[in-house]
Amino acid sequence: MTPVEPDRDTLSQPPDGRPAHEQPAWRQDFPIDWPQDRYVERRALVKFLTLTSLAFTVGQFWIVGQNWLRRREGAAEIRRIASLSELAVGATLVFDYPALHDSCVLVRLSEAELVAYSQKCTHLSCAVIPKPEQGVIHCPCHEGYFDLRSGRQIAGPPPRPLPRILLEVRGDSIYATGVETRTV
């Protein structure tokens, strides 16, 4: 390939008359000529997108870090949350599990059936409201609906089922024994 002179690309002469490659950086970044300007703006967009690409990669490794921290915390502790005799069939109870401000909701479906879910909607963390008479859990913020028996999303924008709180009945006491998160 035959090398070309640098000034072949220059249409307008800079005020100081020096060739393009001797011009200061700011003048090269803000060219006078339209063809050069179009080239520079495309190049700047490639640079910006590469920076965006770096930000997404950092985000991916942030998730790796968060996952490591979550694994380090270990399993949630077993805790008594309610008394079976105090919870009538169809009744609901709000409790905190596993941490103090992790609000959850317990529903007694029948004499022998109990379910509990995190109260945070998987869409934008609004508090969900169980409706045992309709068999659903409703999120009033964006009209999301979950199935009361399985916790799976059945309508609206929620992308995942509600995290299920694992329960155990010992005598008259109901214990929360762990949290089960799911993608489907």
Partner 1 sequence: MGIPTRSFTREQRMPIVSGMLAFVLIIVVLQLWLLTATMNAYLGGDEAVIWPAAFASLLCFALNAGLLRYLRRLERPTSKP
Q: Is the Cβ of residue 57 or residue 83 nearer to partner 1 in the bound state?
A: 57
Q: How far is the CB of 126 from partner 1 (least distance, A)?
A: 15
Stretch 38-77: interaction string toward partner 1, x if CB under 8 A? xx--xx-xxx-xx-xxx-xx-xxx-xx-xx---x------
**Choices 31-39, 95-103, 109-117, 168-176; region in contact with partner 1 by CB under 8 A:** 31-39
Q: Are 141 and 124 in contact (CB under 8 A)?
A: yes
| Residue 173 engages partner 1 in binding (rule: CB under 8 A) | no
Amino acid at 97: Y
Could you tell me the sign of the dihedral formed by the alpha carbons of 102, 134, 151, 82, in that order? positive
Q: How far is the CB of 179 from partner 1 (least distance, A)?
A: 9
Distance, in Å, from the CA atom of 168 to the CA atom of 80, rounded to the nearest integer, reads 9
For residue 159, whether the previous peptide bond is cis, meaning omega lies within 30 degrees of 0, is: no
| Residue 159 engages partner 1 in binding (rule: CB under 8 A) | yes
Task: Burial-class residue 47 by CB neighbours within 10 Å (0-12, 13-18, 19+).
Answer: exposed
Both tokens assigned to 114: 């109990």
Q: How far is the CB of 71 from partner 1 (least distance, A)?
A: 8
Distance, in Å, from the CA atom of 97 to the CA atom of 165, rounded to the nearest integer, reads 8
Binding site for partner 1 (CB under 8 A): 1, 3-6, 8-9, 19, 21, 35-36, 38-39, 42-43, 45-47, 49-50, 52-54, 56-57, 59-61, 63-64, 66-67, 71, 122, 159-160, 163, 180-184
